[in-house]
Structures are given as C-alpha cells and as structure tokens.
Structure 1
Amino acid sequence: MIFKGKVWKFGDNISTDHIAPGRYFHLRSNLPELAKHVLEDAREDFAKSVEKGDIIIGGNNFGLGSSREHAPRIIKVAGVSCVIAKSFARIFYRNSINIGLPVIELKEVDEFNEGDIIKVDTKLGVIENITQDKKYHFIPFPEFVNKILEIGGIDEYIKKYGDYGV
C-alpha cells in the first residue's frame, strides 16, 4: 500500500482520551459525528482541518490508555491514511491493524516537520519525505498484515479468506 499526504505532528503520550474525548461517548454509534472531534483535546483545529490522505506523526506511546477501538476508527473515518510514531501502545497498535489503519514505528519522527509531504510504502518499508528529499526505512508489514490493511480490516479479511487466511 502506498500513501501520500501532509504531516500533522503530535507529541508523546497521545492517549485514546485525546483521540476520542470521553465527553462525546454518546456519539460512539455515529462514527462520522464522533470523528468531527478526533484529537480535539490534543489539537483543537485538527478535526476541522485534516484532509483525506493526511498522515499523523506522533512521539512515544501513541494511543496509550483505554482499549477503546473508537480511537483508531475515528482517525480513519477523519481521512487519515496512516499514523507514524516512535512507539505505540500495544492495544492501540493492534486495534489499528484490525480496523485497517496502518501504524508504523519509526524512531526518526523528530526529523519530520508539520506540513511536510511524505509518501509511505508499507510493502517496501519506505517513507519518503518529499519536502525534505529524505528516505527512511522500517520493517515492512508481513504479507497477511498488508492484506488486512488493503481489504479494510480484520472483519473484511475473515469474510473473504475465512478464519485461517490464505
């Protein structure tokens, strides 16, 4: 999978409460409405300004906190193509893959600037910062993970390939 988009930078310890504020819990069955509030506790203008294909860059421990699956879902519904961070909370990472949102660990995220245009290739494990003319490498996803991401999440994967995959 290849993504190209504008960078939005966030710092360390962005929690699921930052991503999906608890005061909007009543919207959990209406993901498009809930997505209008994505990350507003970390950055008030994000939900109103993010564009389809944009990419989130985070610091350490992105997605810490509760295991609510709504957090990666509304990031995806908001139009974000992938999230790149120094590290992820384990449950957030797995929930993201399960719902079809690519999440990539990269130690050099501090080198990216807000607004940079980057291109990500999950099969080759390459991130190209077009704005800065730099390339970064990460361990590519295994084939089955790329299939889960390409088809839109684990539910669609199981519908197509069954419980044991291909």
Structure 2
Amino acid sequence: MTGLFEAVYLVVASVALILAVIALLQLIMFRREIRHVLGTLNSRVLRHVVKSIEKRRRFKNRYLVVRLISSSNIGVSELQKRIDEAFIELYGRRGYSEASPRVLYFSEKTSKAVIRVRNHYRWSVLLALAYLERKELLTQVFPERITGTYKKAKRYAETT
C-alpha cells in the first residue's frame, strides 16, 4: 500500500512541477510582450495620447444660487473667505483645490449669492454652507437653484 501512495504522490508532485513551469513560461512571454509594446511607444506618441484624453475630460462648472441670511453685513470677499475656511476644514486643501469654489456674485438687496464650483463637488459646497450655518457664521442658508451657466444663475439671483 505504501508503494502505491508513494507512486501517486510522485505523479501529483510531477504534475504540479509541470504546471509551475508552464505558468513561469507564460509569465516570461507576457513580460516580453509588454516590453515590446512599451518599446514601440515613444514619448511623442504618449504626449499625443495624454493630450487627447485631457481634451475629452473637460471639467464642467455648476453655478449654485443660494439665499443667505446673516446677522451681520456680509460682502463677497467675506463670504468667499468663510466658504474657503469651512471647505478646507471639511475636505482639506486638496479637496478645496479640486472643487475650486468661487463666489462670483452677491446681491445685498436679495441676499442671494452665485457660487461657481466644479460639477462633482456641488453637494460638498452646499455641505460647507450648512457647516457655516451650524457654526453660526451664517444665520440661514437656502439653496435655490443649480444652473449650468453663469448668465442663468445671475438672472435668477437678480429677479427673485
């Protein structure tokens, strides 16, 4: 019986060794193919590919119209400063630079502001405004509209 187990063990070990050698050969062939592909690409081609990808991936901005009620008089620069501080506190400098929120317009008679922000971060800016409300730097914040153009946002902020 022990001779039979040794024979089976030897066969299984041989098959495992053969499979390991085959896997190693495939890995070597795959590495050669990758080197060949990378060798044919030069920096000029790579620059062209990167440039075409960047053209397709345009960052789109959104314009948030918000009504702000504050106990003190607040201007564009003061509002921008408060939003910057809150955004950096919540998301850090990298998140702030990626979102790039800017107060473009503020009307004191309607107390509405137009804030430009990158599309993916529009909810983050609204959260930062709510955070300002929570810290009692603003009394109340009412998000009213999100538009795709500054012209529409400004028109809405001026009329209503």
Q: TM-score range by the shorter chain?
A: under 0.3
What TM-score does the superposition give when structure 2 sets the normalisation length?
Answer: 0.25
Asked which structure has the greater RCO (Cα within 8 Å, sep 6+), the reply is: 2
Larger Rg: 2
